[in-house]
Structure 1
Amino acid sequence: MTITPESIQQQLQSENVGDRLRAVNDLRHLDPAIAFQLIQTAIKDQSARVRYAAVSQMTSLGEQDRETALTVLRDRLHNDSEADVQAAAADALAALKLTEAFDDLRQQYETTKEWLVKFSIVAALGEMGDPRSFEVLEDALLNGEQLVKTVAISALGELGDRRAIALLLPYATDPDWQIRHRLTQALGTLGGAEVRATLEQLASDEMEIVAQSAQVHLQQI
């Protein structure tokens, strides 16, 4: 079957969820400007699976109209009933570097009870690199669930604010090797003389993956 804007439009109106999901996936074969217009219907679909697939595609299609993308993604971040769709909206805002949504991301981080949404927002703030993110990332590190703490360590490294070093160093002795592994990467990204002693300590970590990462980053600072 030849994929055309008309065929996808018809599928998007189908009562069958599978048809609508295929339509969203088939949008990748169309001109991005046309796909961007068609995906607006799917973003408000009654099925969370369809909405998730559509919002996820905004990471690339959003470049067609960043202002509209910002409006749509803000709406899904705040108002979607499903956590995974809200998380996908945060991911897309980060991929598009829509720093205008910083206050939206901070507000949602502070109000949501969904760890997945918090996780995606913390990752998004690190990717965006907005200096205003430091306090949110600090809170995620100190008060977040374990997976949120893990991504907060990476995000603080990406952000590049050197105030993070004092917050991060105590995690060199964390019992979770994944925390220590992320720490080697974050400290390596931040660099500087302040992190050398901790990386040297981690270079002898009992977990090989942690030790190897620390050794690599030591060579780069």
Structure 2
Amino acid sequence: MSITPESVRESLSSEDLGERLRAVNQIRDLEPAIAFELVQVAVTDSNSRVRYSAVSQFDTLGAQDLDLSLDILRGLLNDPEADVQAAAADCLGALKLQAAFDDLEQLYHSTPEWLVQFSIIAALGELGDPRSFELLKQALSSDVELVQTAAISSLGELGNVQAVPVLAPYATSSDWQIRYRVAQALGRLGGAEARSILETLVNDEVEAIALEAKQALQSVESHPQS
């Protein structure tokens, strides 16, 4: 049976959960404008698995109407399920919807869910809003290691060179994954202080860090900053 907008729409209203889950996955096979219309139906489903599968498609479909996507994703930040909230945060970042920064910041401070905090911090790097800097600095002190590493990466993506002295202490972390993320971030940020730290990290005992630092150093030296 071929997949058509009509068949998908009908299946999305089925009482059978399995059929609705198949339908929301079939949305990916439809023309973007139609898919965007149908994914809006799916994000209101009573089942969180359907809503999660639907909201996860906004990173590719949301550009069809950014204002509408902003409204929908903002609403989904209040979803009762943490994984749906996290997916909404991911998509707000991917679509660079900076108008949602305040919503993301508020949710970061109010949620008890580490997964939601992680998704917000990871999304802020893509979001590219300069206001994110202070929140990312706070996230470096998180008790959750994944939130910490996401903050390091997002500080690199954000591109504010003031992050270099903030990241410097983490270059000697006992956790090799944190040192690896710091090397990546410093390569993006550049500048004399970043170069100095990277020159130390090229001698790291972990080969992956040494290689990453070497590549980052080459990037910094080819794009010098004052």
TM-score (norm 1): 0.97
1:4-50, CA deviations, whole angstroms, 9 ceiling, x for partnerless residues? Answer: 11100111011222211111111122221111111112101111111
Write out the 4+ residue segments of structure 1 that deviate beyond 6 Å after TM superposition: none
Deviation at 1:143, TM superposition (A): 3.1
Partner of residue 50, structure 2: 50
Partner of residue 104, structure 1: 103
1:82-137, CA deviations, whole angstroms, 9 ceiling, x for partnerless residues? Answer: 11110100011111111111111111111111111111111111111110101110
Partner of residue 14, structure 1: 14
Distance 1:174 1:215 in 2: 18
Which structure: greater helix fraction?
1
Partner of residue 153, structure 1: 152
1:38 aligns with 2:34: no
Aligned-residue CA RMSD in angstroms?
A: 1.0
Partner of residue 224, structure 2: none
One-letter code aligned to 1:30? L
Partner of residue 130, structure 1: 129
Distance 1:220 1:136 in 2: 27
1:74 aligns with 2:78: no
1:34-76, CA deviations, whole angstroms, 9 ceiling, x for partnerless residues? Answer: 1111111210111111100000001111111111111110000
Equivalent position SS for 2:131: helix
1:23 aligns with 2:31: no
Between the two proteins, what is the percent identity of the paired residues?
A: 60
Distance 1:138 1:46 in 2: 37
Distance 2:190 2:31 in 1: 43
Q: Any gaps of 5 or more consecutive residues in structure 2?
A: 221-226
Distance 1:71 1:84 in 2: 18
Q: Any gaps of 5 or more consecutive residues in structure 1?
A: none
Report the count of equivalent residues: 220
1:179 aligns with 2:168: no
